[in-house]
A and B are shown apart, each in its own frame.
Chain A
């Protein structure tokens, strides 16, 4: 399978936007920006929503603030209106007092009038003068001095004044005229006019007496009404002079106020009204004073939300990207991969897994139970090994699956072999691999078969060689032993061994034959040894060497082996010594003996003078046995080679000593089969020490055999 083309079942492999490298961009700013661009589909609507929500909140807040401002303005304006009305009403009521005095005494004396008017003026500094005009001719005025010119003034001679006087008379109402330019000093002022009627005894309105006029200084009035003279957070304007209300022109304050959405209130006069308009000083605010900070806070909050959303998207995409990468990798694996959840249901697998199990590939889909797959596979004949013992096989397979810690090999219906390895994970799910090991297995089987065939061949060959060797060695033995020949025994019995010249010649011939037969025997024994070595080695190679280990007294075995070499050592003048104590060794007696024979035999072979010493000692959990000689030694570069099969130190030594070159290789294999190892320490010209270790008996393994 080409890398990267694999697909994983159970997962929608989402298409990846090629522009989006956010996952890879990692920490670089450009990468982040690119990632943010990739999230525009989600972030732009979110940003729009945040802007709309922010704007709405701001509007609501501004409206609430405006409503608050208006309510506050309305309250204070109400107070202002009340103050103005209070002033006007107060002044009117003073005229009422004067009216009452006149009603009771229409022919009021000047002194009495002055007394009444003085009282009124004393408490009301805005009043410039109070005049009374019975029959519309001014007869009384207070204060008299600056106003003396008014006395005798006939309203009928002044059309402008007559109009308001007439109106007062006609309606019977008190009228507040002005603002107007006053006769006295050209100042601006107001004139409150009250018509006075004399009442009849029954209380009904009677004869018209005249008019009372109260002249007011406008500035003082405004001051007393609270319109000027103090810090104002509200700007007022009034319109409707003469009580004409909203219809009249602006007579006080900035006329533009009435164009700036003012709050309006009617100031009720004794007759008609003024309209009071008000706006906050400096005009209406467009937003709350803390709006900047609130908006900044909303902006920061919005950015925070956007940033968080971006971060979430970024992490999600990274997570997805990592997951997809993992899935692609699983898809690209050349071996079958499957993941089963804690309930043993398939979570995912790759294409390779499905293609290995062609017979049941239609069942392999996420959610399918493992046992169902196995059962249906068995029913469809997917597993040759299960045929005829289906239930048993399924039980074994399920048990191995549940253990999930073993590697098993399984043959499937098309003859291929799969190696199955399953592992349980900490969350209870099971991950499984299927590796096609058909070729490996066939090669291994072929190699094993070849090894077996070789061993069988050598076994037959050895038998075939041993049979003629039996004859050769048998006859050679008899030839070298005079007593065993029936003929020679008869001759010896008849003549005695030394009976004549002919016999002497014959005897020396027989002796020569015997000596040569001895050489045949030696060579035959050597040949037999080679055959035995070859056979042992082929058995070890084929894994056919059987071992039966038991506890042995090492010392006995060593002494026995040394005895066997006694004659040979004596001939060469060598001293054989055992320093072995009472060590027990856990080994196969035949094979351990073979090891010692080989090592001691080698030592004797390569030692011309000196000694050979066998010693043993406990070394941790092992027994170490050493065979030390004083021979020719082995060069350092050869120490590893001597343990390899068919290797010898050099050709000349092969000639001198003979041998197959298998002895030490067999020694090493046998020791390794016991779980130990062989080492060599040597100084050329000084001698060699071969050591091997054998583990002491472990509690677990009573015997170890290699089949």
Chain B
């Protein structure tokens, strides 16, 4: 699993944050930092310096795609790979998010036992 860089996970729901953290850190053994909002992420991202962004889409205040657009304006994140997580499962939504420059979209609910594998596969097929 070490081939994956440090991941910044942005998610407003604390329970889902916990599940994701367990899935990625405990089950997957990955290096993960988490933020509770887009604003939080913009503030802390430079300090965390992640190599992969994992963004929830529907968040209060700043949505996942707005957050990505804002991060892309920072030179160090202009090309950082991003994966969205969303409960909106429509194909049209998936297409829209991919057009924003995301590697892929993972639909919720996800299986915490295989989430890390899923991300690795997406990373490898990048």
Q: Which of B15, B19, B87, B113 contacts A463 (CB 8 A)?
A: B87
The residues of A that contact B58 with a CB separation of less than 8 Å are: 463
Q: Is A308 an interface residue (CB 8 A)?
A: no
Closest CB-CB distance, B108 to chain A, in whole Å? 4
Residues in chain A within 8 A of chain B (CB atoms) = 459, 462-464, 466-467, 469-475, 477-478, 481, 484, 486, 524, 528, 532, 535, 539, 544, 546, 590
Docked pose: A590 CA to B91 CA in angstroms: 10
Instruction: Flag if B89 contacts A535 (CB, 8 Å).
Output: yes
The residues of A that contact B109 with a CB separation of less than 8 Å are: 466, 469-470, 472-474, 524, 528
Residues in chain B within 8 A of chain A (CB atoms) = 13, 15-16, 19, 22-23, 26-27, 58, 86-92, 107-113
Instruction: Flag if B16 contacts A467 (CB, 8 Å).
Output: yes
Give the A-B pair count, Cβ closer than 8 A: 68
Instruction: Flag if A546 contacts B92 (CB, 8 Å).
Output: yes
The residues of A that contact B22 with a CB separation of less than 8 Å are: 478, 484
The residues of A that contact B110 with a CB separation of less than 8 Å are: 470, 474
Instruction: Flag if A477 contacts B112 (CB, 8 Å).
Output: yes
Instruction: Flag if A478 contacts B88 (CB, 8 Å).
Output: no
Q: Which of A469, A473, A486 contacts B26 (CB 8 A)?
A: A486
Instruction: Flag if A484 contacts B26 (CB, 8 Å).
Output: yes
Given A467-B16, A474-B19, A484-B22, A532:B89 Cβ within 8 A: yes
Apart from A470-B108, A474-B19, A484-B113, list 12 A-B contacts with CB within 8 A.
A466-B109, A470-B16, A470-B87, A471-B13, A473-B111, A474-B23, A474-B110, A477-B112, A478-B19, A478-B112, A524-B109, A546-B91
Instruction: Flag if B87 contacts A466 (CB, 8 Å).
Output: yes
Closest CB-CB distance, A48 to chain B, in whole Å? 89
Q: Which of A462, A471, A478, A481 contacts B16 (CB 8 A)?
A: A471
Docked pose: A539 CA to B91 CA in angstroms: 11
The residues of A that contact B16 with a CB separation of less than 8 Å are: 467, 470-471, 474
Instruction: Flag if A462 contacts B87 (CB, 8 Å).
Output: yes
The residues of A that contact B89 with a CB separation of less than 8 Å are: 462, 466, 532, 535
Docked pose: A459 CA to B89 CA in angstroms: 9
The residues of A that contact B88 with a CB separation of less than 8 Å are: 459, 462-463
Q: List 18 A-B contacts (CB under 8 A).
A: A459-B90, A466-B87, A466-B89, A467-B13, A467-B16, A467-B108, A470-B13, A470-B110, A471-B13, A471-B15, A471-B19, A474-B109, A477-B111, A478-B22, A484-B26, A486-B26, A535-B90, A590-B91
Most-contacted residue by chain B among A467, A475, A524 (CB, 10 A): A467
The residues of B that contact A473 with a CB separation of less than 8 Å are: 109, 111
Given A462-B89, A466-B87, A470-B19, A481:B113 Cβ within 8 A: yes
Docked pose: A693 CA to B113 CA in angstroms: 38
Docked pose: A466 CA to B90 CA in angstroms: 13
The residues of A that contact B111 with a CB separation of less than 8 Å are: 473, 477
Docked pose: A528 CA to B109 CA in angstroms: 8
Closest CB-CB distance, A500 to chain B, in whole Å? 26
Closest CB-CB distance, A305 to chain B, in whole Å? 84
Chain B, residue nearest A474 (CB): B19
The residues of B that contact A486 with a CB separation of less than 8 Å are: 26
Closest CB-CB distance, A531 to chain B, in whole Å? 9
The residues of B that contact A466 with a CB separation of less than 8 Å are: 87, 89, 107-109
Docked pose: A101 CA to B107 CA in angstroms: 173
Docked pose: A472 CA to B111 CA in angstroms: 11
The residues of B that contact A469 with a CB separation of less than 8 Å are: 108-109
Closest CB-CB distance, A205 to chain B, in whole Å? 158
Docked pose: A544 CA to B92 CA in angstroms: 9
Closest CB-CB distance, B1 to chain A, in whole Å? 15
Docked pose: A467 CA to B109 CA in angstroms: 7
Closest CB-CB distance, A89 to chain B, in whole Å? 141
The residues of A that contact B108 with a CB separation of less than 8 Å are: 466-467, 469-470
Closest CB-CB distance, B66 to chain A, in whole Å? 17
Closest CB-CB distance, B61 to chain A, in whole Å? 16
Docked pose: A463 CA to B13 CA in angstroms: 13
Chain A, residue nearest B108 (CB): A470
Docked pose: A546 CA to B93 CA in angstroms: 11
The residues of B that contact A474 with a CB separation of less than 8 Å are: 15-16, 19, 23, 109-110, 112
The residues of A that contact B112 with a CB separation of less than 8 Å are: 474, 477-478, 484
The residues of B that contact A464 with a CB separation of less than 8 Å are: 87
The residues of B that contact A535 with a CB separation of less than 8 Å are: 89-90
Docked pose: A532 CA to B89 CA in angstroms: 9
Docked pose: A478 CA to B110 CA in angstroms: 13
Closest CB-CB distance, B99 to chain A, in whole Å? 15
Chain B, residue nearest A481 (CB): B113
Most-contacted residue by chain B among A469, A474, A546 (CB, 10 A): A474
Docked pose: A459 CA to B111 CA in angstroms: 21
Closest CB-CB distance, A485 to chain B, in whole Å? 9
The residues of A that contact B26 with a CB separation of less than 8 Å are: 484, 486
Chain A, residue nearest B88 (CB): A463
The residues of A that contact B23 with a CB separation of less than 8 Å are: 474
Chain A, residue nearest B113 (CB): A477
The residues of B that contact A524 with a CB separation of less than 8 Å are: 109
Most-contacted residue by chain B among A470, A484, A524 (CB, 10 A): A470
Docked pose: A462 CA to B19 CA in angstroms: 20
CB-CB nearest 10 A-B residue pairs? A474-B19, A466-B87, A470-B109, A471-B15, A463-B87, A470-B108, A473-B109, A469-B109, A474-B112, A477-B112
Docked pose: A486 CA to B27 CA in angstroms: 10
Docked pose: A478 CA to B27 CA in angstroms: 10
Q: Which of A484, A528, A590 contacts B27 (CB 8 A)?
A: A484
Most-contacted residue by chain A among B23, B90, B110 (CB, 10 A): B90
Docked pose: A473 CA to B26 CA in angstroms: 17
The residues of B that contact A532 with a CB separation of less than 8 Å are: 89
Closest CB-CB distance, A666 to chain B, in whole Å? 15
